[in-house]
Amino acid sequence: MKKFWLKKAIGMAVCSAIAIVALGFVIMTLWNQILVPVLSVKAISYTQALGIFILSKLLFGGFRGKGCGRGSSCGIGGRGIEMKEKWMNMSPEERENFKQNWRNRCST
């Protein structure tokens, strides 16, 4: 059992390292290919691209921990939990009415 978790940890570390390297190159390439000609800014290096990525995550996205993905309640004010409680307290007719309202809102 310990071997399984060790292999899993090593695999996750390798995948994370590959993802970080790839992200740095993608950010650097996009910056240098788009912003340099369009806005006449200076080209950046790989380490600067990683720095921009970390800065943007801190300013705009944050580094959320496990469980803060799609459909979770980690967002502003725990809206997911509030909505789930509201949904659970609705009658079947209210739920159907709610669904219909959202369908009407989202249809084009």
Per-residue pLDDT of 72-96, as tens digits, reads: 555 555 667 888 888 889 898 988 9
Residues whose CB falls within 8 Å of the CB of residue 74, separated by 6 or more in sequence, listed in order: 64, 67, 68, 80
What is the DSSP-derived secondary structure letter of residue 63?
A: -
Evaluate whether 40 touches 62 at the Cβ level (below 8 Å): no
- For 17, the token pair is 């390292």
- What's residue 64's pLDDT? 64
Evaluate whether 26 touches 46 at the Cβ level (below 8 Å): no
Per-residue pLDDT of 33-73, as tens digits, reads: 999 999 999 999 999 999 999 998 888 876 665 555 555 55
- What's residue 52's pLDDT? 92
